[in-house]
Each structure stands twice: as structure tokens, then as C-alpha cells.
Structure 1
């Protein structure tokens, strides 16, 4: 088995990101305030970019923090942006803020996730609602997309599955297209597309359908209908990769029946 473990040259990485952003060399050069010839020399390996220039190019390409470090590494520079684990003392205030938001959402569900929709934490309401929908059994996954697409998980309880899953697929396609070096996002897309009943047309990114203004989910189980809409909270101007990739999804009831059922679960 022949594995090529050599790092991707910085020029090739820039070309890949420029193609993902649909920018010409001239467009990117103008945004980064350099000549198109200089950029061409960087992309072909004839010129070595400085560290400040790489950061300007990353800004022009709107690269996520993790990919900015990868760009620096490809050019032989040390990482510029830290990645701090959530369970370290340095993240104490961040964890307090997260815990506060999750607790304030009671008696309605709320989840802390990373950019791949892995569920890192959830409030008690989320556990109560999931427990009801799954009849007390544990979910086989700790990932929101797998929850929605796996027939052995929450999918049979989602009455508007086609609309919800189509929206989630569009978001995942956008992540893959916007982060061309994110192998985990690509693998997740391939995985969810392989679940049974997924329309073949979802394998191609849909650029024509506008996303709904709100993500809504409707569950039906044991004669109970629960309707939620979701909002997403992120940390503004993060200076750490971990914080940059976090988001909190809060679910709000769309009708009084849903709100009352959540209150009854909390009271029980």
C-alpha cells in the first residue's frame, strides 16, 4: 500500500482555495494587494511567500482559523492560531458561557456542537426529548447529522424529514465546498449520502434552492407532535480554533402544544 504523506505545497493549497472561492489570480491578487505575477509565482513554487503575506491571502480567501494554520504549515511556518481543549483552565469562562446558555434554554432542547455537527454537550431538556422520542434507549450516534439520517436513530420520528435533511445536506455541501481541505467533512458527506432513502440528486450541490429562513423540525411519536425551530449562537471574533468551530443550537417551540409537552417532561 503506497501512501503519499508528503505535505501539500503552499502554492497548490492556495490554488485549491482560490478555485473553491471561484476567484481568478487577478481577483485574489487585488484583494491581497499584491501583483498577479507575484501570486502566480507563489502558486507555481517559484516564489516563497512571507508569513504576513500568507495571512493577507488567508484573509482574502476568508479561510477558517484551522485552515490558516495549515496554510502556514505548508509554507514551513509555525502555526499562528492556538487550539485549546475545552476541558482546560484557559477555557473556564467559555465553558461558563456555554453552560449558562444551555441552562437558560430549559425546558427546551439546546446542543453544543463543532463544525462537523458532533454533539459536545446538551442540556437536560435535549436528553428528555430524545429519551421520549427513542423510548428511553440510547442514541447510536453523537452527531446531529447521523441522528437525522440514520433510520436506526431519530429519522423515523421526523415528520418533515425530506425538508430537514435537504437543508442539512445543503449546509454540509457548503462546508465541503468552502473548506476544500477538510477531509472529515467530505467523509461525513459521503457517509450520510450512503444512508438508505437519500435521493441521488442530493449528491450534487444545489446552488439554485434558497435555504429556508429558519430550520424547523417536526417530530411525531406515540400520538404526540413536537414542532421546533432552531437558532444558532456562535462566539464573535474568536482567537482560538476550538472557539471558532463551536456553535450552540437552541430549539424553540413553534406552538403551545410543544411548549406544554416540554414543560410536562421537565416537571416529570
Structure 2
């Protein structure tokens, strides 16, 4: 009997989501794409969640969409529905109310790369490998996923990866700005948890305002700029702003409530 394909652990405001199909290199089935969307939307809506870590069980992050389903679920007649499920999962990660940190080891290919690119921060073990092999399979990436890849890796590296289908290692990904840092394999989860805990200790409304401002800067759209403006204005009226000032005066750690 197959294990649950997704595992979730919550501790100290940090949700750790683990892709759990290690025997398939955490390949993502159609059902798992749908479940990822639901899970991230649920976690994002919970006031308990302050940050999310996304990782893979075993020795890999994810080999991407499960190619075993392509003949039946990603053919000429039903590819659009499959791509809709992909896009919804990417959007759920990208639009999460809280920062998402991808902790990557081993292969991070295709749709797995798309999930990592949709995250806010990415850290990787030395053995991480990155690839966008769509051109080798004769298919195309959704445009919204491509936006994430360009934002994460830069336009030059995005072109190289998608045009050639080449694999790059962690050092190359670091040089391109795709990942924040390379972490020893046995310290990867601890480092991701440490970053997430630092985020979780800060004022949630302030973190959200920063996330939305960065998104608006990258997208250049009026809608994103307005969302960032509203979120920023809300911080000045919040209880957390009062708490932050009081904690500074009293020389103590602030206790933020997210209100």
C-alpha cells in the first residue's frame, strides 16, 4: 500500500510539507497536483501558519510530473485540464499568504522545478540538480510557471534551461541566483527550519507587506502595486506595530499576533 503522497508537520508556526513518493523520486501525479493546491490554500488561510517549508522525502526534491500518466492524462485531448492542475499548484505556492521555502536535494526537474521556482526562497544541498526538460519531451510550460522561472533564475538562465533542457548543479544555480545558499545535506532541513522560524518570529502583516511589495516590483502591474499599498498601510494600524514599538522601548522580544 502506497504511503500518503504528502506529509505535513506543524511546529512553532512553521508548516513543513513533504512530497512523499521517494520510490518515484517524488514524481507528482495528477491527483497530487490537485492535493498540493488544496493543501497550500488551507495552510495559507490558517492564522497558525507563519511560514511553509516545501521539501521531498528520500534523496530527491521532485522529478516533476509523473510521466507514467502522460499517455492517459496529458495527451492531445486532455492536456489542457492537466496544465490547469499544474498551474493551480504553482499559483497556490506563489500566492501563499506566508513565505514558502523550498529545501532541495537531488533532482529538481520539470514540475518540481516549477514548484521550487514558485517558492519565495530556495536552499539546496550540494547534490541538487536542476532541469526544465520540456523541450526534450515536446511540450510547453504554462506561462505563469515561466514567470516564476524567470523571476527565480533570471531571463538568461531561464532561456538556457528551457531551450536546451540542460541540467545545472547547485554551484551553477547559486551563481545564477536561483538558490539562496548551498547547505550540507545533513543540515538542509535544519537550515530551512531555522530560516522559517526567523520568519515566524516576525510580524506577519509586515512580512506579507514585504512579500507583496516584492511581487509588485517584479510584475510591474497596477493590481499588484495596489495590493502592496493596502498591505503596507494596514501595518501602521495594526496591534503588531504597537507591540513592536513597545517591545523596543522595553528592550524585550516582541510577541506578534498577526493583527
TM-score, normalized by length of structure 2?
A: 0.23
**More helix by proportion, 1 or 2?**
2
TM-score, normalized by length of structure 1?
A: 0.23
Greater length-normalized contact order (CA 8 Å, ≥ 6 residues apart): 1
